[in-house]
Structure 1
Amino acid sequence: MAVGKSPYRIALLFNANKVYDRQVITGIGQYLTLTRVKWDLFMEEDFRSRTVGIRQWRGDGIIADFDDPTVAEAVSCLPLPVVAVGGSYAHESDYPAGIPYVATDNQKLVRLAYDHLIEHGLQRFAFFGKPPEQDNRWAGERERWFRQMTDDDDLEGIVYHGSPTSAGGWGRAQEDIAEWMRSLPKPIGIIAATDARARQLLQSCVVADVPVPDQVAIVGIDDDPIVQMLSSIRLTSVIQGAEEMGRTAAQLLHQMLHGGDCSGERILVPPVGISVQASSQHRRMRSQYVMRARHFIRQYACTGIKVEQVANYAGVSRSLLEEHFKRDLKKSVHQAILEYKLETALRMLGDPSVSLADVAVRSGFTSVQYMYAVFRREYDCTPKQFLERARH
């Protein structure tokens, strides 16, 4: 672009209410910052993707979410540079013709989740996907890879699509999921098509009274911080390379704006890794009482529960529950509650926006002073000193 020329006008057609889309947009911004490229970016004011009037767009280029068939159809025939972003496909015919396409590698996303569950000793597997609709082709691809992986290992791959979620139908949908959870052979590992779907599984496990991860281990895809915040049990999730997808898409469009021919180029971006949390850390327990007790502790440890309440939930006397904990976990019930509270506190201490008082209250300690006293007793240091040691 010549000196003094107005910046290129680029439309970003994404729904930024989804974490995946936000990360792609972040990657586009990172490319512009690193290269000092000047683009005049257009997005809807409410950050939703709308195609009304897009054929009259007087801009210079578009980066668009092609997982949305409405968007893909609206921009595919426009006479200006377009870069598509979306999920990968096994068949070439599923990609748009003549348009550069940056894809999240669905096979590797599912493979990472599947291998993680195998590493935790599980031998039964299920997939919680989405109803087979045009908007959900990416979920269908993840399901297809799941089926192939279990087939290759001569294992039964159980698939459940569930229902589209809506406020009016949520109660019925949750009951259906809970009934499915009760019917599954256990222990079992479940891969959810997204973190949002995985959160529904976690909620339904509470309804169905199914312990996570002792009977059902769950892995999502997206590493969505909002899902983590709203879940009583921390969710293990595959981290997509969405920011790298955004950077790559911006680079392709930059080349096209300067005369480069990128038509038909396919770039598959692998996942960054997996964030391992409590939901998938399956450990075979001899005692059903320990399984039920740990399920209760993960949900309510930070609310001030007592050992007697845990024993009541497990359906056994306190003394017998203590015997089972000593045998299976080599610790007391009180120690298990305390460990969960300390783990919760340490996660929040890593966030400078959360005050010490909030950390203490939200992790189940009655005061900052008491939290400090427990850290000194258990770790011989203050919470901040513990974090400093962990960093080094």
Structure 2
Amino acid sequence: MKSESYKVVLLFNANNIYDRQILKGIGDYLKLHNIHWNIYISETLRYDAKTAFHFDCDGIIANFDDPDIEDLLAKETIPIIGVGSSYHDHVSYPNVPYVAADNYAIIESAFNHLCEKGIHQFAFYSIPPTRYCRWAAVREKIFEQILAQKGYQGVIYQGMTTSLDNWQESLDKLSKWLLALPVNTGIIAVNDARAHHILQACDRVGIKIPEQLCLIGIDNEEVINNLSMVSLSTVKQGTEEMGFNAASLLNKQFAKGKISTEPLLIAPKKIIARRSTDYRSIQDPYVIQAMHYIRDYACKGIKVEQVISEMQISRSNLELRFKESLGKTIHCVIHEEKFNRAKYLLIESSLSIQMISEQCGYPSVQYFYFLFKKLYGMTPKDYRNKYAVNKTSS
């Protein structure tokens, strides 16, 4: 087969996880089918519109969410496969075979996740209109459509396009919007970067997440999650599948195969539920405040007495409130929070089990092993082997 001689250009801005995962999907297809394309991609992994580009190649796979790339390829006649956002109507799609992230399914997944948590009030944090973020406007409209279909009302806030110069002003305005939202509102952020803005603004003005506002992002951007004090629930897109299908379509074009002109929509892969949507429908202000304190300090070795002292009410009173709101004792909630953190670190981090034991406030790794196995029927090591492997393969 001639595949080894095909010269293929990949036009992406791989400084974000969306493009990187699409590129991974392309690589997965090539490895699976033992295809050896001669691939060009910028050394910076980012297409620069200011750089002159001449296409001496047999085919191109490109991210058409970037209008500069779409403009660059408008008159090219060589085989091109586009990837990018889905749209409301066919006239918005480029005139090339196209693999699209299904925005309706993405927003619907985030909405359903919030509903499953008992949320009945909704908001959407977007991006100001720009030709470089056309997908954001699509997601805004879908949010409005879903709420109308379900009989809910919601609010949309686009905020500012942020830079180092206006970052504090942007946070000030975002904070005011968040403070005006009803308690127990579920917020869908248009992507994880915008979700991070909300986490910072909430921390700044003392809004408790998830006790007062619930938040979910889109993309599963690990860099953003690592920088956030509250771990972020997110929609993991089917980006690797998008890349896989794009490579398959280009290979079919090389083989002169028939390709559908209909956009191929790829649904999101799953919801990754983390602390920012660990919402419980709690109305008692003392329990809300105590839960937030426990989430922040459980792994620092706090005892029930310290929670009581922080709330400044009697132990019997707070214990009764916990029983009525959660059906659990304060001690049980502290214990659960420590193990939730341990499970998260076992799956999401490469920290040693000794370090995880210390971070979660256990006096010895042996005691941590004993309690973990008693509760989950397996050791921390077995838990990591089982679920971390599933995480990387899913």
Please report the TM-score for the alignment, with normalisation by the length of structure 2. 0.89
Alignment CA distance shift 1:265-1:277 (3 Å): same
- Say which SS state the counterpart of residue 56 (structure 1) adopts: coil
Q: CA RMSD in A?
A: 2.7
1:320 match: 317
Q: Does 1:85 pair with 2:83? A: yes
1:50 match: 48
CA deviations 1:338-358 (Å, max 9, x no partner) are 211112112323468321222
2:22 match: 24
Of 331-340 and 370-379, more deviation after overlay is shown by 370-379
Q: CA deviation at 1:309?
A: 4.9
- Of residues 133, 136, 141, the one that matches 1:136 is 133
2:332 match: 335
- Of residues 223, 226, 230, the one that matches 1:229 is 226
Alignment CA distance shift 1:324-1:82 (3 Å): same
Identity %: 39
| Aligned residue-pair number | 389
Alignment CA distance shift 1:292-1:251 (3 Å): same
Contact 2:4 2:35 in 1 (8 A): no
CA deviations 1:161-194 (Å, max 9, x no partner) are 1122323322222222222111001221111111
User: What are the equivalent positions in structure 2 for 1:285-296 lying under 5 Å apart?
Assistant: 285-296=282-293
CA deviations 1:206-264 (Å, max 9, x no partner) are 22322222321111111223333233323221121111100111111112223345474
1:347 match: 344
Task: State how far apart, in whole Å, the 1-side matches of 2:254 and 2:130 are.
Answer: 34
- Of residues 6, 9, 12, the one that matches 2:7 is 9
Contact 2:102 2:267 in 1 (8 A): yes
Q: CA deviation at 1:283?
A: 1.8
- Of residues 144, 159, 163, the one that matches 1:162 is 159
2:148 match: 151
- Of residues 66, 76, 79, the one that matches 2:64 is 66
Contact 1:76 1:82 in 2 (8 A): no
- Say which SS state the counterpart of residue 60 (structure 2) adopts: strand
Please report the TM-score for the alignment, with normalisation by the length of structure 1. 0.90
Q: CA deviation at 1:286?
A: 3.2
CA deviations 1:15-53 (Å, max 9, x no partner) are 222111111011000110111111111112222222455
CA deviations 1:72-95 (Å, max 9, x no partner) are 111222231111110000021211
Q: CA deviation at 1:376?
A: 5.9
Alignment CA distance shift 1:172-1:303 (3 Å): farther
Alignment CA distance shift 1:50-1:265 (3 Å): farther
- Say which SS state the counterpart of residue 85 (structure 1) adopts: strand
Contact 1:181 1:208 in 2 (8 A): no
Contact 2:353 2:380 in 1 (8 A): no
Alignment CA distance shift 1:387-1:256 (3 Å): closer
Task: State how far apart, in whole Å, the 1-side matches of 2:322 and 2:138 are.
Answer: 42
Q: Does 1:127 pair with 2:124? A: yes
Q: Does 1:251 pair with 2:252? A: no
Task: State how far apart, in whole Å, the 1-side matches of 2:58 and 2:293 are.
Answer: 56
Write the letter of the residue equivalent to 2:133: N
Task: State how far apart, in whole Å, the 1-side matches of 2:56 and 2:77 are.
Answer: 11
Contact 1:99 1:263 in 2 (8 A): no
Task: State how far apart, in whole Å, the 2-side matches of 1:366 and 1:283 are.
Answer: 30
Write the letter of the residue equivalent to 2:332: Q
Task: State how far apart, in whole Å, the 2-side matches of 1:315 and 1:44 are.
Answer: 60
Q: CA deviation at 1:128?
A: 0.7
CA deviations 1:188-207 (Å, max 9, x no partner) are 11111112212222222222
Of 270-279 and 367-376, more deviation after overlay is shown by 367-376
Contact 1:232 1:299 in 2 (8 A): no
CA deviations 1:322-368 (Å, max 9, x no partner) are 33223322333333222111121123234683212221233233442
CA deviations 1:290-330 (Å, max 9, x no partner) are 11221232233333445455445546455533332233223
1:240 match: 237
Q: CA deviation at 1:134?
A: 0.8
Write the letter of the residue equivalent to 2:289: R
Task: State how far apart, in whole Å, the 1-side matches of 2:249 and 2:378 are.
Answer: 51
Task: State how far apart, in whole Å, the 2-side matches of 1:12 and 1:310 are.
Answer: 55
Alignment CA distance shift 1:217-1:367 (3 Å): same
2:296 match: 299
Write the letter of the residue equivalent to 1:70: D
Q: CA deviation at 1:70?
A: 1.0
